[in-house]
A and B are shown apart, each in its own frame.
Chain A
Amino acid sequence: MDLLYTPAHELQRGLAARQISAGELCRAVLARIDKLDEKLRAFITVTPELALSQAGEVDRRIAAGEELPPLAGIPVAVKDVICTRGVRTTCASRILHNFVPPYNATVMEKIMARGMVMVGKTNMDEFAMGSSNENSGYYPASNPWDTQRVPGGSSGGSAVAVAAGMAVLALGSDTGGSIRQPASFCGVVGLKPTYGAVSRYGLVAYASSLDQIGPIAGNVADCALLLSAIAGYDPLDSTSAPGERPDYTKSLNQEIRGLKVGVPREYMGEGIDPGVRGVIDGALKVLASLGAEIEEVSLPHSKYAIPAYYLIATAEASSNLARYDGVSYGYRVEDPGDVVDMYMKSRSRGFGAEVKRRIMLGTFALSAGYYDAYYLKALKVRTLIKQDFDRAFEKYDVLICPTTPSTAFRKGEKVDDPLQMYLSDITTISANLAGIPGISVPAGFSGGLPVGMQIMGRPFGEGDLLRVAHAFEQATGHHKRRPEL
């Protein structure tokens, strides 16, 4: 059985049928990392001993005749913003260069209980702040389709790992598009769940009211499998939604005849690259041919999404990142003058420029005399944006648009203009503000680079997203194309 790029759902069958062992699957992935990661730099920490011991445990249980849960033995890469007990977790920041969590994030407990095999912690923009992985405090990652280009961010490393076959599945996090955008740039599937669908316990917080952990995979079925593994109510997370989650794999192989699709005009206009626009138009025609009914819709408050996001997210981040102070973990400057000196120097040296920029912006937005005009106002605008979606979903089952305005840009192209970088989030950011789920699926290519199509749904409408995405994928097969490596 050829292991490289084989979907997880097929690998599962192979493992159960003892055609392959978890050990050999793990070794194949680790070999691929050895071969490619020096160039691609998708990983901050590779964990070969841990992975092999986990794979060995799976093989032992298979040999003992045990029936194993779905995804047992499947190699997974975990974004370095998720706490892993005993394994260094840096958030791609110098300030956490030596932080080893004494506890596991809830999603880690869940996937470890499934017998998944963790091959390493992936590269990202520092503290999840960025759209290109260029803000990593260690080194940038490269897009496997063109290593002169960014893989996207902030879950760049996770998207690269899956796209390059250095992991079968990956976990990312998404606050303003950080799963969907890199998935789009790298030609893989990435899903941001409804806010509250997946536990945030153990996810190092960037913006508490926007963050979600989500799956990145090479195809929609694998995405559904991984989502099923991580979703669920968590009593350790007060913002986790109570109730049972559905079996997401039941949404696969379903009809979309009669599905009502809304295409927001604000995400299809100027600012969207013509090549990308062309691919998405083609994708919409495919959906129409499968029986979907497609109409234009308006989300009138879209233009306020980016300013609202950059006030809310940075305000919450300025508070969430206050704990990195050199007192009891992480980087502390040597020989500080006094406590205040220690705080100032440890944070100034430990944080990168973009992180500091956002902390300052957020602090300002919350400060006395400005709170009402900025933070509070942004929260009110957020309600209006959410109401736009509520109204749209009264009429439409899903909303579809390009995941990103362009294909992957060159390294260094936007680094000097933070605001330009922020504007590239325009199509993904609203879903986080409204708390709704969104998925990016490979929709085609433009100039040889992947183009992603974003499908957004009602709160807890992941089933609809997966249904549409799977039907589209099965009708097109873009996910089968691989980068030349």
Chain B
Amino acid sequence: MAKYETVIGLEVHVELKTLTKIFCPSSTTFGGDPNTHVCPVCLGLPGVLPVMNKKVLEYAIRVGLALNCQIAAFSKFDRKNYYYPDLPKNYQISQYDLPIAEHGHLNVELDGVEKRVGITRVHMEEDAGKLVHQGTISTTPYTLVDYNRTGVPLVEIVSDPDLRSPEEARAYLEKLKAIIQYTGVSDCKMEEGSLRCDANISVRPAGSTTLGTKAEIKNMNSFKALQRALHYEVERQIEVLEEGGRVVQETRTWDEAKGVTLSMRSKEHAHDYRYLPDPDLVPMVIDRGWVEEIRSALPELPDQRKDRYVREYGLPEYDAAVITSSKEMADYFERCLSGYANAKSVSNWVMGDLTRLLNAGGMEITRCRIAPDQLAGMLRLLDSGTISGKIAKTVFEEMFETGKDPDSIVKEKGLVQISDQGAIEAAVDQALAANPKVVEDFRAGKEKALGFLVGQVMKVTRGKANPEMVNSIIREKLR
């Protein structure tokens, strides 16, 4: 049993993909020339006032429901006061003590074990702008401010400190991302900043029930970084304690290049944000009927979809879980099924070769050149015996590279499987004649020799012979 227990809680910010910002009609479109998606309100000019975008509230409720939270009957916005150049008003409009949703959970599966992780709260807030330094923040001679992102709507999702390992934390984040993608309120792309994650992590002697001093870890920009950073931090904290020291409550940044966390500032004296209810916005009374409408309009969520795949398609739990872990993959899978009914086959190809090629190419399934109906088409060719399983792999890779139809590829490359009895017999005769010693070995009882002979026939036929037929014809001839 390990000497120390790790305790992790994650704070995740998700950008909601409404058309306009949370408190003004400026565009939320990602990118764009600096300071072109702005207006007096999100610039915080003197005299301006915020006006709530109702879609943001709807999306936040959707997230709360998808995470099994209680939706507040009465909620409000508060001002979080602090100074920073990316915050035009020097306060952020956020939610303090009456968040839109609380007390939820989601289920995380890791190594075959399912665990429920608590969600403390979900609240709405506005994003800040972006600082553009010339180099690093400490060496730059000047900094430019781009306010395009100011006022983009965010939900902040805080987990209970229920996570017990970096792997569990990663699995939680992956599940959370999938759930939110499924609700349709965000693309959840860490590389674009629409999904951001900070972690609170502490260690304590195994068996202890009091929490150790926590550090906040920021700047983890990928799932892998999250895992690496948390591993590093656990080791670091244990080392501090083993040497008789105290863990300092502070914010630390993950340095990807160096592979370490570095202290940013001391959180021992926590920042006093002087929260007050925002007097420019009226509180919200949330109609129960509306919440139920949103609930009934919720799209099928990952766990439900997984269960449906098991039920309707007879997929094993594991396959169903992998396929539904990303909405794009699950959608792709189902579109394949509209052209080809064997769910397990589709699942094997998607989980196997497709995922392998996507990872090698560093691309998302949405950029895949193989259209779902093309994959279905290939599987039909396989079924009909037009191509063998081995040929199919070649065809598949060609489809992935070029996006061409399987039929075209098979035709162009002359990959149609040879299933003509006579042609195969001729090839078998050729192979047997060329390898008398191996024939002897087979007749003497060495089964392995058969494989060699099959391989020789394949060579002669350039891999196109129907392997089952080759097998049975050889056996027939050598009986």
Chain A positions within 8 Å of B, measured between CB atoms, are 82-83, 89, 91, 96, 99, 101-103, 105, 200-205, 207-209, 235-239, 315-316, 318-319, 322-325, 327-329, 339, 343, 363, 366-368, 371, 375
Contacts and interface: CB of A to CB of B under 8 A. Distances in A.
Given A103-B45, A237-B49, A343-B83, A316 B276 contact: yes
Given A101-B45, A202-B47, A323 B89 contact: yes
A327 B83 CA distance: 11
A325 B40 CA distance: 16
B276 A315 contact: yes
B48 A209 contact: no
Given A316-B276, A327-B145, A238 B52 contact: yes
B142 to A, nearest CB: 11
B81 A322 contact: yes
Contact of B46 (A91, A207, A363): A91
30 contacts: A82-B47, A96-B46, A99-B46, A101-B40, A101-B45, A101-B47, A102-B40, A102-B45, A201-B48, A204-B47, A205-B47, A205-B280, A207-B279, A208-B279, A208-B280, A209-B279, A238-B52, A238-B281, A238-B282, A239-B49, A239-B281, A318-B274, A319-B81, A319-B91, A322-B90, A322-B91, A327-B85, A327-B145, A328-B88, A328-B145
B478 interface: no
B272 A201 contact: no
Contacts of A367: 272, 274
A328 B88 CA distance: 8
A322 B276 contact: no
Contacts of A105: 47
B81 A89 contact: no
B81 A201 contact: no
A323 B276 contact: no
Given A238-B50, A329-B45, A368-B272, 5 more contacts: A201-B47, A322-B90, A327-B85, A328-B145, A368-B274
B48 A89 contact: no
Contacts of A238: 49-52, 280-282
Contacts of B225: none
B212 interface: no
Nearest to B35: A328
B44 interface: yes
B57 to A, nearest CB: 13
Contacts of B40: 101-103
B125 to A, nearest CB: 16
A239 B280 contact: yes
A196 to B, nearest CB: 10
A368 B274 CA distance: 7
B149 interface: no
Interface in B23-61: 40, 43-52
Given A319-B79, A327-B145, A200 B274 contact: no
Which 3 residue pairs across A and B have the least CB separation, nearest first?
Answer: A322-B90, A208-B279, A366-B274
Contacts of A375: 276
Nearest to B48: A201
Given A208-B279, A322-B89, A367-B274, A235 B51 contact: yes
A101 B44 CA distance: 12
A346 to B, nearest CB: 11
Given A203-B47, A238-B280, A328-B145, A323 B88 contact: yes
Contacts of A363: 274
B50 A204 contact: no
A325 B90 contact: yes
A327 B131 CA distance: 12
A102 B35 CA distance: 15
A339 B276 contact: no
A103 B85 CA distance: 23
B51 A316 contact: no
Interface centre among B48, B83, B88 (most CB of A within 10 A): B48
A305 B210 CA distance: 47
Contacts of A201: 47-49
Contacts of A325: 83, 90
A208 B280 CA distance: 6
A319 B276 contact: yes
A105 B275 CA distance: 28
Contacts of B49: 200-201, 236-239
A327 B276 CA distance: 24
B193 to A, nearest CB: 22
B284 to A, nearest CB: 11
A343 B280 CA distance: 25
A368 B282 CA distance: 24
